[in-house]
Amino acid sequence: MGNAMTEKPVVASPRVMCVPPTQLESVLAKFAGKTLGVLAYSAVRPWVPGGELPVARVTLPVVGGGVWYEVWTSSHPAVLGRDSGISFSCDGSLLFGSLELDDADSGQLEGKAFAVYSTIFSLLDRMGYPELLRVWNYFPRINDAGHGMERYREFNIGRHEAFCSKGRAIGDGLVPAACALGTPQGTFSICFLAGRVPGIYIENPRQTNAYRYPGDFGPRSPTFSRGVLVGDALLVSGTASVVGSKTMHPGDVLRQLDETIENLRVVVAQARARGFATRDPGGLCLNVYLRHAADHALVHGRLDAEFSGARIIYLQADVCRTDLMLEIEAFWMPIS
């Protein structure tokens, strides 16, 4: 699978189903040959059927226990492949890939992030899917000190330098939606969605664009946009209680939640101004990352009321800033 596809690029729309273990095998059977990949969340490394499918096994506890799965699918047949340690599937319009590095909590994270992103960009260029649309990053001890700085800042340096070394411009309408969360242990797990044509990248006027954060947030700013439209699907990055570039309401989870909800509202409004039309809450999935699982009792009622009809999963994770108590990412698409 080393040659780029040559058919005319089209704008495709991914779909995601958020399912418990009891539904996983039936969903995979229903979309056999059209499954792009799976994200599996659990406190212990979860089992996923499917053999060669791209899978991100994320060792984050599901609040309340158990395992939770996101199954990403296409309306077209997907071809599976493996190249340079990346498992991937592609359907002629979208490419979904996953990669794991062992012992991510030893050695210098900057170099690991640079290597991972450089490898991804090389694969996308070879395969003819040059547009990196959405990335999920999970690695241990995100807030710990590494080689003289916080590990998240190390990661940002490596990611930024990979963009630059591979000739990827960093600016408005050019960088993917993304999240970066800390796991208690395990591997550096990354998965990504790429396309043959660009998405429509969304920013939030309440917030400084992440790639323009001032230097007090590290030697290199985080390289992501606030969201992206891929066809008729809206993929919203990890969103938190940040206005401008400042963390709001440290220590108050409910006020941080309200600020986060307002940021989500603004991103959706910006997406609607760019053509996003879906309104059925049944097509909305939220991943809520809580620094402290005990905050679930305070948070879930507010979110259930705000997003009635959405599928919401709560995960315990370290958020990229130590003064942030939660982060929410969203996937909103029509119900197929």
* Residue that the structure tokens 């411009």 belong to: 169
Which amino acid, 259?
A: E
Alpha carbon 181 to chain centroid distance?
Answer: 9
Let me know: does 264 contact 330? Beta carbons within 8 Å.
yes
Reply yes or no on whether 327 is catalytic. yes
From CA 237, how far away is CA 224, in angstroms rounded? 8
Among residues 70, 150, 327, 329, the one annotated as catalytic is 327
Question: What are the percentages of helix, strand and coil residues in the chain, rounded to 5?
Answer: 25, 35, 40
Q: Where are the extended beta strands (E) located within 184-261?
A: 188-195, 200-202, 227-230, 233-239, 242-243, 246-247
Query: Tokens 């990346």 — which residue?
Result: 86
**Helices (DSSP H) in the chain: which residue ranges?**
21-30, 109-127, 151-165, 253-273, 296-306
d(CA 129, CA 289): 30
Buried b (16+ CB within 10 A) or exposed e, 54-66: bbbbbbbbbbeee
Total length of the chain:
336
CA 81/CA 331 separation, integer angstroms: 25
Paired strand residues for 235: 228, 331
Q: Which residues are catalytic?
A: 327
